Amino acid sequence: MSSTEQGTSSAAPAEPTTAPESAAAPEVPESFYYVHGKDKVVHKVSAGALQHSALIHGMISNLGYTEEQAKANPFPFENIDGDILQMVVDWCNQHKGKPTPPEDTNLPKQKEKLFDLVLAVNYLEIKELLTYCCKQVAMMVKGKSPEEIREIWMIPTDAEDEAAEKEAKKRAGKEAAGETAAAAGDAK
């Protein structure tokens, strides 16, 4: 298992402090978790950075893993390509504990990468990053004619939609007929 670990501090969640109120609270050691995508490359990410993802934050909030347990149980996101997960992790790290800026210019310019990033970010429920991505996707069609938009986003024409619907109906009809025949065979 390879790793892109970026920190070295302990992963154990902090014990509740019992210090008197007047004294300054001791610094809480940061905890880390591990995630991997389709490529199985494991990324070490701080709990603070992972707070951007509502999905992961919900998963880890009550786990109470030690460093060893966290390392031994990376969260698998098999539906996300490794390079896309890397982008997400980088973004979460960059924006850890900071207010998000109104724009993000570091998103991928290639259509397919951006598409995969949108799906990943939506799955991981990273609201701010999703907004940036959607802005970028919307920018792709800014000032474009309907025909150009159709090409960019591969939108079928009315005729293609109708043909697809007909085909789907035909298929459903055949399946229903097959099921009826099978049921009749069973009955015999």
Nearest to 72 by CA among 3, 155, 25: 3
Beta strands in the chain (DSSP E): 32-36, 42-46, 75-76
41 binds other proteins (CB under 8 A): no
Nearer to other proteins, 142 or 188 (CB): 142
How far is residue 149 from each of residues 133, 137, 156, measured CA to CA in Å? 17, 11, 11
Residue of 20, 26, 143, 185 interacting with other proteins (CB under 8 A): 143
Nearer to other proteins, 168 or 181 (CB): 168
What is the closest distance, in whole angstroms, from the C-beta atom of residue 9 to other proteins in the complex? 36
User: Taking CB under 8 A as the rule, which mask of x and - marks residues 144-173 in contact with other proteins?
Assistant: xxxx-xx-xxxxxxx--x------------
Residue 85: which residues within 8 A CB-CB, separation 6 or more?
A: 35, 36, 37, 41, 43, 77, 120
Binding site for other proteins (CB under 8 A): 111-112, 114-115, 118-119, 122, 130-131, 134-135, 137-139, 141-147, 149-150, 152-158, 161
